[in-house]
Amino acid sequence: MTMLKIENLHATVGGREVLKGINLTVKAGEVHAVMGPNGSGKSTLSYVLAGRPGYEVTKGKVTFMGEDLQALAPEDRAAAGMFLAFQYPVEIPGVSTTAFLKTALNAVRKKRGEKELSPVDFLKLQKEKIAQLDMDTEMLKRGVNVGFSGGEKKRNEALQMAMLQPKLAILDETDSGLDIDALKVVAEGVNALRSKDRAFLVITHYQRLLNHIKPDVVHVLADGKIQKTGGPELALELEEKGYAEFSGDAALRAGAKSK
Amino acid sequence: MFQNMVYSNAFLQTEAVDETTLPWLEDAQKLGEQPAADWVKALRHTGAEAFAHTGFPTPAWEGWQYTHLRPLTGTGFHYAVEAPAFDVNVLPPPLLKDSARVVLINGKYRPELSDAPAGVTVMSLMDASVQIAGIEEHLVTVGDLGKTPFKALNAAYTHDGVVVTVKDGTDVTQLLEVLFYNIGSADHPPALHPRCLYWLGKNSGLTVMERHAGSGVYFSNIYAGIALEPASRLKFYKFEEESAQACHFSYTALQQQKCSSFEGFSYAVGGKLSRQEYQNLLIDSGISSMLAGAYLLKDQQCHDFTVLTDHFEPDGKSVQHFKGVVDDQARSVFQGKIHVRRAAQKTDGNQLNHALLLSEKAEASFKPELEIYADDVKCSHGAASGQLDDEALFYLQSRGIPQQQAKSLLIESFLNTALAEVSFPPVRAVYEERIRAWLRH
Ligand SMILES: Nc1ncnc2c1ncn2[C@@H]1O[C@H](COP(=O)(O)OP(=O)(O)OP(=O)(O)O)[C@@H](O)[C@H]1O
Ligand SMILES: [Mg+2]
């Protein structure tokens, strides 16, 4: 079953066209990796999918679970099963992590037509997930991401994902900032969620993560477009050769040489 | 000893009377016919004279730059000697059960609707003025009436109000709610000028919730003295929830003696035009004086907090901590000053004011001031306004939290730091509930 279908997607941010015609189809059960140079539009793609204001779709279409995404507010996308683990998680002083998780989970459950969790059931669930991710419960009392280290923030994203049980999880560089052990723990968390009904879009710069989370498909995003799509071996190839082949500079240089 | 200030102003005899002030004073004469203690008569006279000369302040006055009085001065308010007939069922239920409650209707103390906690004496201002020795000292510490027209106007009408006293050494355990319920009218909008006193004897303790609520058009102009004798402790939680058409002006004169402590919180959401002014005098050493507050404004409301904290002697600790949310075309004003006199070494004074603007037309004005004459002190101040954090809002929404709920969550968390100054959990819970209700507007 097709879960996400992106057709000729163009998007601007801050008046600049960043996505210049993306085509991508993700089926349920699949893991897609997206790699690409800095500034190529990976985070932009993830924000467009999550519905961040200011990221304007100028052309093309995105369908998620058969629904036109553009018509949905960010919270409705979340309820429909979309989840974005942020590259830079946001700090929210004054809102405790537990209160945040509970509000989010119950809001999503309500929208999905499920009953809100009782406080006891919520705490049980939270405790279970915390243990899986090897997190410190003390962090739950603090403001969301406030005073968290880079790695702790990423773990917190993984925790939210585990609690919300999305259908499509977009992980935007969730591996960066994690130490080797944490990377394993978080990857295990992701693998635990893998199922035939779920899909993942994993944005990363490093092959290392893909050793733990085996992708079915690897895409290269450069200059706002998918430049190449292949199997897991493509990631290894990139690790070796870098992105020179896809960057605008290289293309220019190649063009100059041929003259 | 308390500061005893002279209440006559030499210039009053020389300056001309401002004709426009006279309608505001004409009802004061009705009071003159009633018997009263000499000091009450003198106070009325001095107040009337001061107001007759100055009238209401204009934006040219120091401290009145931002708060414009048209909604008040454009309406004809009149004082009534008699309280209006009313139905007791309109009174809101007490905020917390197990509290005792004192009720004032249009500024007039209503003993038949009131009860006092054990250890607390409550009586009308007029009764107290003749029955309580030394009370005058706390009710006439008026400073320069020529600079405080609302206080002067209130003085001219000295008659209504209530006096709450706690004897030396009494720690009152029961909570006291003081409800000012005001019944307005569009045809004959009343002016209310209650004068009140909370007087805590040495080493006594009391917790008060002072509520201001009502219906229709009225002008509530309150003067409240708070006298804290050595080592006494007052928790003073105010709820300014006046009717949407009302004007609320209150002047709180707090005088703290040695090692006394004051913890105040003011929640301001009511009235179309309101100003709460505090003059907190820490006249001895070792005093703690914390005043925090939250204002939540919408439509075309204008609210002003003007706070002076004045440290006279060493080892004082003071806080002014206000947070506000301003929506629609509403305007907020915060003017805070910490004054540290030469003798007040080791003063620790902090002032913080933050306003969150929820609409493009909302406005927040600040005037934060520190005036320090002692050299060994720790003082800070900060004031800023900002908007809701878009990034945080999107983050919450991306987790499935609906936009409106996400906004409320961010606003609550913004207000929480000020609310954290309230050390009494049941009252903090009431405030939280009020804020949540406001956010659903
Ligand atoms: N608000 C904005 N205004 C203008 N340009 C923006 C804005 N946000 C992003 N951009 C630009 O869009 C381009 C793509 O940014 P994006 O964050 O999507 O890159 P990325 O592929 O995620 O890079 P990285 O690997 O460094 O995370 C960059 O050139 C960036 O400067
Ligand atoms: Mg990025």
Shortest-distance Cα residue to atom 17 of ligand 1: A43
pLDDT value at residue B3: 41
User: Residue A46, Cα to own-chain centre: how many angstroms?
Assistant: 6
pLDDT at B294 over 50: yes
pLDDT at B18 over 80: no
How many domains, in total, are found in chain B?
2
pLDDT digits (tens, 9 = 90+) for B370-393: 999 999 999 999 999 999 999 999
Which tokens hold the place of B26?
């004409």
| Distant-in-sequence, close-in-space partners of B112: CB < 8 Å, separation ≥ 6 | none
DSSP A25-76: EEETT-EEEEE--TTSSHHHHHHHHHT-TTEEEEEEEEEETTEEGGGS-HHH
Cross-chain residue pair B413–A107, CB shorter than 8 Å: no
pLDDT at B269 over 60: yes
In a domain, B361, yes or no: no
Query: Which of helix, strand or coil describes residue A98?
Result: helix
- The rounded distance, in Å, linking the Cα atoms of A209 and A246 is 22
End-of-domain residue from the set B259, B284, B309: B284
Residue span of the structural domain in which B402 resides: 390-441
In a domain, B399, yes or no: yes
The whole-angstrom distance between B397's CA and the closest CA on chain A is 5
Residue among A181, A196, A138, A185 nearest A162 (CA): A185
In a domain, B279, yes or no: yes
- The rounded distance, in Å, linking the Cα atoms of A253 and B6 is 88
Co-location of B270 and B405 in the same domain: no
In a domain, B86, yes or no: yes
pLDDT at B243 over 90: yes
Of residues B320 and B11, more confidently modeled: B320
In a domain, B422, yes or no: yes
Ligand 1 pocket by Cβ (under 6 Å): A 13-14, 16, 18, 36, 38-44, 87
In a domain, B58, yes or no: yes
Co-location of B400 and B274 in the same domain: no
Co-location of B74 and B219 in the same domain: yes
| Distant-in-sequence, close-in-space partners of A139: CB < 8 Å, separation ≥ 6 | A97, A148, A152, A156
pLDDT value at residue A253: 46
Q: Please indicate if any CB of chain A lies within 8 Å of the CB of B414.
A: yes
pLDDT digits (tens, 9 = 90+) for B276-290: 999 999 999 999 999
Co-location of B252 and B394 in the same domain: no
Beta carbons of B210 and B101 less than 8 angstroms apart: no
Query: pTM of the full predicted structure?
Result: 0.89
End-of-domain residue from the set B284, B309, B329: B284
The stretch B321-334 carries a mean pLDDT of 97
> What separation in Å is there between the alpha carbon of A34 and the centre of ligand 2?
11
Co-location of B272 and B402 in the same domain: no
> What separation in Å is there between the alpha carbon of A244 and the centre of ligand 2?
19
In a domain, B367, yes or no: no
Co-location of B57 and B204 in the same domain: yes
In a domain, B291, yes or no: no
End-of-domain residue from the set B264, B284, B304: B284
Q: Quick one: which ligand is closest to A34's CA?
A: 1
